[in-house]
Amino acid sequence: MNRARLFTFGAVIAATAVLAVLGYVSLRQWQASAELLFREQARDMAAMAAEKVEMAILKTEEECLSSLQAILMDPAFRPESIEAWSRKNPLFDRLREIPQGFWERGGRRHFLVGDQVVLAAVIPGPSGAPVLAAMGRSEAAVKDLVLAKTLGGLEGPSLLAVLDRADNQVYASRPVDRARRVLTVGFGEALPTWRVALYQPDGISPIGSVRRQAMLFTAAFALLLVVIVLGLGATYRVVRRESEMARLKSDFVANVSHDLKTPLSLIRMFGETLELGRAPDEATRREYYAVITRESERLTRLIDNVLDFSRIEGGRRRYDIAPHPVEPLVHDVLEAFRYPLAQRGFKVDVAMAPDLPEALVDPEAVKQAVANLVDNAIKYSGEGRRIAVAVRSEGDRVAIEVADEGIGIAPGEAERIFEKFYRIGRSETQASRGSGVGLALVKHIAEAHGGRVKVESRPGEGSRFTLYVPVAA
């Protein structure tokens, strides 16, 4: 049984650990692949933007060149026409000198002069002879004509900026002050020194939100683990309690049987002695009869306890509660215990307060409760030989007190002794058998009357149990 339980707990713990490791690993993987995916998307987006810008520049340049060519082909060409062209085509604002090598290659080409991109093109001139046009771009025009048009309408949280060689920002689709740069992508030949940079606003960057989600999952997972561990702990406690209860129950059966045996063997012994006529005189015979009566009363009490306990457990215990004086009930109990008390040399102090009010009680139940308290006082008196019984009224309650000078109860046990089957596991206690349901019954009876039972005790000095029942109005 124990091994099976250990195995079960081990299996659950192992499963939990595997779950934890798997969860952690897959979370990390998910986070890594989400970040990778996001980076790829960002790169695509930046590359697309770069391509768009490049195409736009080339197209604008193409248009400029066509119009320049048209001017040059015009028979009415004059140098001032170039001025007019330049005003209409703000993309180019400078004329450049062309290095010698270019002449030989011919065609059209971008090249760098310092940090400036210059477009050089050979185009047919007015007389049909080739003319070399070399044009430097206006940065402002690139911004307004190309960048603002191609990158300006960007939707979504990401923003794009164009950076020059020294990482200075040439253009941004929106202000980037509170954003994080994710990556940069270079342009082609048309803008060789510039790059497109993709930014993510701080709060809503997908990487940040992936991280936040990962953290959230980790927290949820940790919580789950905590719940599992707590559940395990709780289950372990329940299982332990259950098996403790099973043990207590089997003890209970053994204890009850033993308790029944003692009075039975006394009854049988005295009965047989009488039957065989071995009692010498009338006085002895009377004494034997008395023992038989008393022991059968004890038997009845024990059996009543067990039966009542099973009725309580089954929810079938009924109480007939009515106004009743308390003193006669206590006297009846003491009378029933007169013989065992006297036999063991107990001195009983009884203190009944005068003018006690009637209480709202089930007389038989209260007698049973008090009998259990007196029985315990005898059983757990150790060397002590004094028992004090007192009845008094306290406000709207009548208090019935049974005190002994016996072995006492350790503070930690004071609550538990009212639990069913609970017996303090000490050699002194175990020496005197009991069923462990006596005080559970007392408590149930007290509460059924709307009252309660309390205990004050010190180990080695004795215990005082007080049963409170309500005064009849």
Q: State which amino acid sits at residue 174.
A: R
Q: How far is the CB of 353 from ligand ADP (least distance, A)?
A: 22
Chain centroid to Cα 248, Å, comes to: 33
User: Does residue 42 belong to the site contacting ligand ADP (CB under 6 A)?
Assistant: no
User: Does residue 398 belong to the site contacting ligand ADP (CB under 6 A)?
Assistant: no
Q: How far is the CB of 408 from ligand ADP (least distance, A)?
A: 6
What secondary structure does DSSP assign to 369-426, as a single string? HHHHHHHHHHHT-TT--EEEEEEEEETTEEEEEEEE-SS---GGGTTGGGSTT-----
User: Does residue 417 belong to the site contacting ligand ADP (CB under 6 A)?
Assistant: yes
Q: What is the arrangement of strands in the sheet containing 179-186, beginning at the earlier edge strand?
A: 169-172, 159-163, 195-201, 179-186
Q: Which CB sits closer to ligand ADP, 389 or 439?
A: 439
User: Does residue 434 belong to the site contacting ligand ADP (CB under 6 A)?
Assistant: yes
Q: State which amino acid sits at residue 172.
A: A
Taking the C-alpha atoms of residue 380 and residue 63, their distance in angstroms, rounded to an integer, is 114
Structure tokens at 430: 């175990």
Q: Contact, 340 vs 385, CB < 8 A?
A: no
Structure tokens at 71: 């001017």
Of 418, 428, 425, which is closest to residue 382 (Cα–Cα)?
428
Can you tell me which of 137, 308, 362, 436 binds ligand ADP, judged by CB under 6 A?
436
Q: Which residue is nearest to ligand ADP (CB)?
A: 434
Of 284, 240, 298, 331, which is closest to residue 438 (Cα–Cα)?
298
Q: Which CB sits closer to ligand ADP, 74 or 349?
A: 349
Of 350, 348, 305, which is closest to residue 327 (Cα–Cα)?
350
User: Does residue 263 belong to the site contacting ligand ADP (CB under 6 A)?
Assistant: no
Q: Contact, 135 vs 95, CB < 8 A?
A: yes
Structure tokens at 217: 């999952």
Taking the C-alpha atoms of residue 236 and residue 225, their distance in angstroms, rounded to an integer, is 16
Q: Of 37-45, 170-178, 291-299, 437-445, which segment contacts ligand ADP by CB under 6 A?
A: 437-445
Can you tell me which of 206, 263, 406, 451 binds ligand ADP, judged by CB under 6 A?
406
- The size of the interface with ligand ADP (CB under 6 A), counted in residues, is 23
Can you tell me which of 187, 337, 380, 468 binds ligand ADP, judged by CB under 6 A?
380
Taking the C-alpha atoms of residue 19 and residue 324, their distance in angstroms, rounded to an integer, is 66
User: Does residue 60 belong to the site contacting ligand ADP (CB under 6 A)?
Assistant: no
User: Does residue 423 belong to the site contacting ligand ADP (CB under 6 A)?
Assistant: yes
Taking the C-alpha atoms of residue 209 and residue 281, their distance in angstroms, rounded to an integer, is 102
Q: Which CB sits closer to ligand ADP, 298 or 379?
A: 379
User: Does residue 86 belong to the site contacting ligand ADP (CB under 6 A)?
Assistant: no
User: Does residue 466 belong to the site contacting ligand ADP (CB under 6 A)?
Assistant: no
Q: How far is the CB of 365 from ligand ADP (least distance, A)?
A: 16
Q: State which amino acid sits at residue 242.
A: E
User: Does residue 302 belong to the site contacting ligand ADP (CB under 6 A)?
Assistant: no
Q: How far is the CB of 227 from ligand ADP (least distance, A)?
A: 37
Q: How far is the CB of 376 from ligand ADP (least distance, A)?
A: 3
Q: Which CB sits closer to ligand ADP, 434 or 451?
A: 434
User: Does residue 378 belong to the site contacting ligand ADP (CB under 6 A)?
Assistant: no
Q: How far is the CB of 414 from ligand ADP (least distance, A)?
A: 9
Would you give the binding string for ligand ADP spanning residues 338-377, x where CB under 6 A is met? Answer: ----------------------------------x---xx
Taking residue 233's Cβ as centre, other Cβ atoms within 10 Å add up to 10
Residues that bind ligand ADP (CB under 6 A): 372, 376-377, 379-380, 404, 406-409, 417, 422-424, 429, 434-440, 463
